[in-house]
Amino acid sequence: MVAGYKNRYILELLNIYAYFCRLNDMKPAYYIKNPAIASEEALLRLLAELEEGGIPAHRVANRTELSALQPDMLLAVGGDGTFLSAAELVADSGIPVLGVNLGRLGFLSENTPSDAARAVLEGRWVVEDRPVLSIDCPAVPRNIWPFAFNEMTLHRNGAAMLGVDVCVDGNRLPTYWADGLLVATSSGSTAYSLSVGGPIVMPQARVLIISPIAPHNLNVRPIIVPDSSEITLSVQSRDPSAVLTMDNRRVELSPGTAISVKVAQFSLKRVRLEKSDFIHALTGKLFWGEDMRNGSESQ
């Protein structure tokens, strides 16, 4: 019994030693989209806490600097727009992204600076694989990243409504007559898709959401398809162009242009703090189920 206790004690010491070795080797970086927040007290305090803990974070502004530094983690400091830009920055590098909220809603960037610093220093975080959309369209210039973390959309670019033709794995759906249409990942179900009446989907669900934007006929609804599907789209319009968006990037295209959408061969590595979860984010950020009859149950 004494020998067993001694062995467990030695094993625990080895685990503690291994943790501090990993901590000492860790090399984080941080990214801010808005230069105006570079001097904000919350950001400076976050950086100071990390440096005092022995793992200073270095700022990166573009993919070249990120590639040169090769950090173990990228802190996207700002709001959800900053997180989406950071997703483009890491691309298929496999570098995990931790969202730190200095913005307004902060659903993707849900963590406060103090919580983020403490979790990084204590190693209390996990990495989730989140799917990314790959968009194949001849209208997208080579200098624009043709992927999306939340959603891709087609929008009208004038007064005329769009007719959006959709095929799922070669099976044609009825034409959507609407202001536009979006294809969202499960991660994007709480973004634009939610605002146009799409369902809330747990992030680990392997599905894609097809939702019309302000449809002009009442008998069309969002549809969920497996994320193994290949979705092809084209637009009918009396206007000379329509708009294609991929998260926070925008290009114009001509009616009739073919677009192929499917899940990319790489995923985004999103850092989640151990204490956070999707349902808590829904209730805390989006006030899901807020009802005076629920009392403390909604807290």
* 269 C-beta neighbours (distance < 10 Å), count: 19
Burial pattern 199-238, b for ≥16 Cβ within 10 A else e, equals bebebeeebbbbbbbebeeeebebebbebebebbbbbebe
C-alpha distance across the termini of the chain, in Å? 46
Q: What is the predicted pLDDT for the residue at 21?
A: 43
* Residue bearing tokens 């483009």: 88
Q: What is the predicted pLDDT for the residue at 7?
A: 57
Torsion of CA 43, 47, 50, 56, to 10 degrees: 150
Radius of gyration of the chain (CA): 22
Residue 85's contacts (CB-CB under 8 Å, 6 or more residues apart) are 31, 33, 76, 248
Q: What is the predicted pLDDT for the residue at 282?
A: 79
Distance CA 110, CA 102 (A): 9
- Give the residue from 99, 132, 32, 63 showing the smallest Cα distance to 272: 99
The catalytic position among 25, 72, 80, 179 is 80
Distance CA 144, CA 2 (A): 64
- Give the residue from 266, 269, 272 showing the smallest Cα distance to 132: 266
Distance CA 103, CA 81 (A): 9
Is 20 in a helix, a strand, or coil? helix
Q: What is the predicted pLDDT for the residue at 14?
A: 45
Cα 222 to the chain's mean position, in Å? 21
Phi, psi of 189, deg, nearest 5: -65, -25
Q: What is the predicted pLDDT for the residue at 20?
A: 46
Q: What is the predicted pLDDT for the residue at 4?
A: 55
Q: What is the predicted pLDDT for the residue at 106?
A: 72
Our answer to whether residue 227 is catalytic in this structure is: no
Q: From first to last of its 299 residues, what are the pLDDT tens digits of the chain?
A: 455 555 555 555 444 444 444 445 789 999 999 999 999 999 999 999 999 999 999 999 999 999 999 999 999 999 999 999 999 999 999 999 999 998 776 778 888 999 999 999 999 999 999 999 999 999 999 999 999 999 999 999 999 999 999 999 999 999 999 999 999 999 999 999 999 999 999 999 999 999 999 999 888 899 999 999 999 999 999 999 999 999 999 999 999 999 999 999 999 999 999 877 787 777 776 777 776 677 655 44
Cα 38 to the chain's mean position, in Å? 23
